[in-house]
A = this chain, B = another copy of it.
């Protein structure tokens, strides 16, 4: 097992990465302060791992909430079910909420933990590659609104992240690929060596080789933890983690949440950000091509849906959180392994990207 630390002063916390961690009470124990535990999961994971985790935690008073599976249910209405359960089972301020699931479960359980009695303990047990390398680390929690993704939420750090790569064995191949999109992102934005490593180890990763998985999760979390430690509340540098996300969110919104997986939309979105970076002569076309090859090998889309017009993109990007005072801001690459945020965008080049990348 490997242990990393997300360094945030009194809110610092460990990330444990390894095999068969769900059964290890000793990993959970130091992070649970009261007697009560509320496991939040979804209908798919309920039958796979809920019992294992309940057995591990059988010394505690454990209740659980099973949410419907999918991004379409990441809403305020569904969030209410967690509050209902916590109150009906009389959970007090010392309770610990455990998210057993992917990004949707983690974001919702984390937001519920942030709000329940104005904040209770929270442990992330991510069950998808995407949530292991991205959403479970860094404290972003929240739900969607019909008018925008993640528009309602909180920055709320967990007490610990327990990333058990064994659970990835039951992950559908499409979801594994979606996670690989975010893994590749870390190479692009801040770690050129890792990008090269991925070019030579992608097949092992896709075959779910344990060592390759642990290495990819560790390296991704190291990169993310470094950025989050430098800028917890996204006042500046943290925004580079959103490479491809402004385009990606537009794709997800246009297609309806859940039809494109988040990682798939990010893959196409990253290609658009790289295309624009190349058109603005910030990076060489070869970086765009190497990335396209890697994403395609990972069975990820490298173009936006053909039916999305320029107008749809511009409209949907207008309500994005990265818009400051009406100015569109995007994450672009200055070189392989170095991203930056800019609102200095040549509109005709952006137009070319929107036309070209679908």
Q: A residues near B, CB below 8 A? A: 34-35, 76, 80, 83-84, 87-88, 90, 92-94, 114-119, 140, 142, 145, 147-148, 150-155, 233, 318-319, 321, 323-326
Query: B117 contacts A151, CB within 8 Å?
Result: yes
A118 to B143, CA, bound (A): 10
Task: List 30 A–B pairs whose Cβ atoms lie within 8 Å, in order of A's numbering.
Answer: A35-B325, A76-B80, A83-B145, A83-B151, A83-B152, A87-B148, A87-B151, A87-B319, A88-B147, A90-B318, A90-B319, A92-B323, A92-B324, A92-B325, A93-B324, A94-B324, A94-B325, A115-B115, A115-B152, A115-B154, A116-B151, A117-B153, A117-B321, A118-B140, A118-B142, A118-B150, A118-B154, A118-B155, A119-B233, A154-B154
Closest CB of chain B to A61's CB: distance in Å?
A: 10
Query: Given A115-B153, A321-B117, do A145 and B87 touch, yes or no (CB 8 Å)?
Result: yes
Residues on the B chain within 8 Å of A323, using CB:
92
Copies in the assembly, this chain: 2
Residue of B nearest to A93 (CB): B321
A142 to B83, CA, bound (A): 13
Query: A153 contacts B34, CB within 8 Å?
Result: no
Query: B321 contacts A119, CB within 8 Å?
Result: no
Contact of A119 among B83, B118, B148, B155 (CB under 8 A): B155
Residues on the B chain within 8 Å of A148, using CB:
87
- 18 further contact pairs, Cβ within 8 A, besides A87-B151, A114-B154, A119-B233: A35-B325, A76-B76, A76-B83, A83-B151, A83-B152, A84-B147, A87-B147, A88-B147, A90-B319, A92-B325, A92-B326, A93-B321, A93-B324, A94-B325, A116-B151, A118-B140, A118-B142, A154-B154
Closest CB of chain B to A214's CB: distance in Å?
A: 31
Residue of B nearest to A88 (CB): B147
Residue of B nearest to A34 (CB): B325
Residue of B nearest to A147 (CB): B87
Query: A152 contacts B116, CB within 8 Å?
Result: yes
Residues on the B chain within 8 Å of A147, using CB:
84, 87-88
Query: A153 contacts B325, CB within 8 Å?
Result: no
A105 to B323, CA, bound (A): 28
Residues on the B chain within 8 Å of A324, using CB:
92-94
Residues on the B chain within 8 Å of A80, using CB:
76
Ordered nearest first, which 5 A-B pairs have the shortest CB separation?
A87-B147, A118-B153, A115-B152, A117-B321, A92-B323
Closest CB of chain B to A343's CB: distance in Å?
A: 13
A115 to B80, CA, bound (A): 15
A232 to B318, CA, bound (A): 37
